[in-house]
Amino acid sequence: MKQKRIIINKTKFNIIVERLSHQLIENHDDFRETVLIGIQPRGTHLCNRIHQKLSSIISNSIIKVGNLDITFFRDDFRRRQEPLEPQAIDIDFSIEGKNVVLIDDVLYTGRSVRAAMDALMTFGRPKSVELTVFIDRRFSRHLPIQPNYVGQKVDTITSEKVIVEWEEINGNDQVILLNSET
Amino acid sequence: MKTLSTEHLLGIKYLTKEDISLIFKTADNFKRIINQPIKKVPSLRDITVANLFFENSTRTKLSFELAEKRLSADIINFSSSASSAKKGETLIDTINNIIAMKVDMVVIRHPNPGASVFLSRNIDAKIINAGDGTHEHPTQALLDAYSIRKKYGEVKGKKVVIIGDILHSRVALSNIYCLQKLGAKVCVCGPSTLIPKYINSLGVKHMSNLKEALNWCDIANVLRIQLERQDVKFFPSLREYAMVFGINKDILEGLNKEITIMHPGPINRGVELTSDVADSGQSIILDQVENGVAIRMAVLYLLAGKVKKNGK
């Protein structure tokens, strides 16, 4: 039987988005040299949310934001039962010489982030790349990748799943821990 | 994600409407990628593809080769004019030798209809038909329909006329299947001697008047007269054909609407199309070539997903 537990509720959820936005402002000033890139499919929700928040705080600056699809750069093609569905790539600006903030919802093995960095480099040579995640599943990395900005660190075991839900998709802002073991 | 319902791409006949939509959707992503500064993705880096061309080809061969390279596949090329096929080796022997070199996918063009189906039954590799005689040329039909979709938003409800040598054309048959599956209306136009007898059974009407056909259609897909496949005379002379079925600027300007001109290439300028039509803004011939790479990348990617992992 699957057990479902809410680990972050709506109030805390919004506080975290707010905090991540302020941390980004602390390091990137007015975002003239910085772009936000959400990793498809689920990182784009957090990316949009942070973008909205940042735009409301620093109102006189236009922050560039894009979505990156990593399907063709993944290392598990043909190792899955079914191929993954590619999503839209939506980066209509140059990242050459820019500071890029990659944004994803959950950091687990680090393989998606590795693929995202490869995919990103096909658009040019950024000055720096940082990583923002909502949930960091600690002690489960397969690759030496660490985030720069973390919403919440979570300790989990392999059979558990962490799902970030969004109001615009699932009807509520919350984070759920699913345990598929009986 | 959905996968293709078939293990090989042998012809449009074997694809469902959903398969075609999936190929188009995947091609959209690849079209975006081939317009990026770095046009290569690593998806097929552990796949080996053999391009076996038993018949001459420029566009299709280059397009497949480029698609394979953009996907990081390893490729080997074979053309029959410079091979042991000339020494009397059978098709299955040639192919088995190539498969023994551990090839995962085979792209084949062959003068005999059904060559790709025959291979798919006899060897253990994914087969992509790049044209088998006068039978099918599925990737060309896919890229033609994809080009129509790119220009008009959708294929459904569009009126397409295929003009020229329908009898000897694999492009025509694949196009008819593909366009009908996507809900377009298809007619053919050309001299009666070059229209196959079975054409009505495909639900396709034959128009013998070029002007009438052009006034009816939204898109005209113009084919080349395949003199190399014609062992007897089907019409008196190329000059006469050009006068009756050739499209020139005056004819286009005399129509009551602006139609789109397509051609699978190679063009015989001055025969089926005059240069001012082929190079006009109404022609999407070069878009077809660009879309061809994206479509072939999509087909290769989707079929490569079905190649078994070694030892699993």
pLDDT of residue B229: 73
Backbone φ, ψ for residue B294 (5° rounding): -65, -45
User: If we measure between CA atoms, which residue out of A112, A114, A110, A106 comes closest to residue A152?
Assistant: A106
Taking an 8 Å cut-off on Cβ atoms, the answer to whether A83 and B3 are in contact is yes
B31 to chain A, closest Cα gap in Å: 11
β-partners of residue A132 are A103, A149
A81 to chain B, closest Cα gap in Å: 9
The mean-pLDDT minimum among A73-82, A109-118, B54-63 falls in A73-82
Q: What's the distance, Cα to Cα, between the start and end of chain A in Å?
A: 5
Tokens 């998709």 belong to residue = A169
B243 to chain A, closest Cα gap in Å: 47
What are the pLDDT digits (tens) for A122-136?
888 999 999 999 999
User: If we measure between CA atoms, which residue out of B242, B260, B230 comes closest to residue B169?
Assistant: B230
CB B297 within 8 A of CB B146: no
Residues of B in contact with A85 (CB under 8 A): 1-2
Q: Per-10-residue mean pLDDT for chain B, 312 residues long? A: 87 95 94 88 92 88 95 90 70 82 92 92 92 94 96 95 92 95 95 92 93 95 83 84 93 92 91 93 94 96 84 41
Q: Is B259 helix (H, G, I), strand (E, B) or coil?
A: coil
CB-closest option in B1, B33, B71 to A85: B1
Category of A157 on φ-ψ map: left (φ > 0), alpha (ψ -120 to 50) or beta: beta
Q: In angstroms, rounded to a whole number, what is the distance separating the alpha carbons of residues B307 and B302?
A: 10
Q: In angstroms, rounded to a whole number, what is the distance separating the alpha carbons of residues A37 and A96?
A: 14
Taking an 8 Å cut-off on Cβ atoms, the answer to whether B40 and A123 are in contact is no
Domain range summary for chain B, segments of one domain joined by +: 12-136+290-304, 138-289
Whether the ipTM is more than 0.85: the answer is no
Taking an 8 Å cut-off on Cβ atoms, the answer to whether B37 and A122 are in contact is yes
CATH number (3.30.470.20, 3.90.10.10, 3.40.30.110, 3.40.50.2020) of A10-74+86-156 reads 3.40.50.2020
A126 to chain B, closest Cα gap in Å: 13
The residue in chain B having the minimum alpha-carbon distance to the alpha carbon of residue A70 is B41
Query: What kind of architecture, by CATH, is found in domain B12-136+290-304?
Result: 3-Layer(aba) Sandwich (3.40)
CB B250 within 8 A of CB B277: no
Q: Does the structural domain B138-289 have CATH classification 3.40.50.1370?
A: yes
pTM over 0.80: yes
Taking an 8 Å cut-off on Cβ atoms, the answer to whether B1 and A118 are in contact is no
Q: Do domains B12-136+290-304 and B138-289 have the same CATH topology?
A: yes
Q: In angstroms, rounded to a whole number, what is the distance separating the alpha carbons of residues A128 and A27?
A: 12
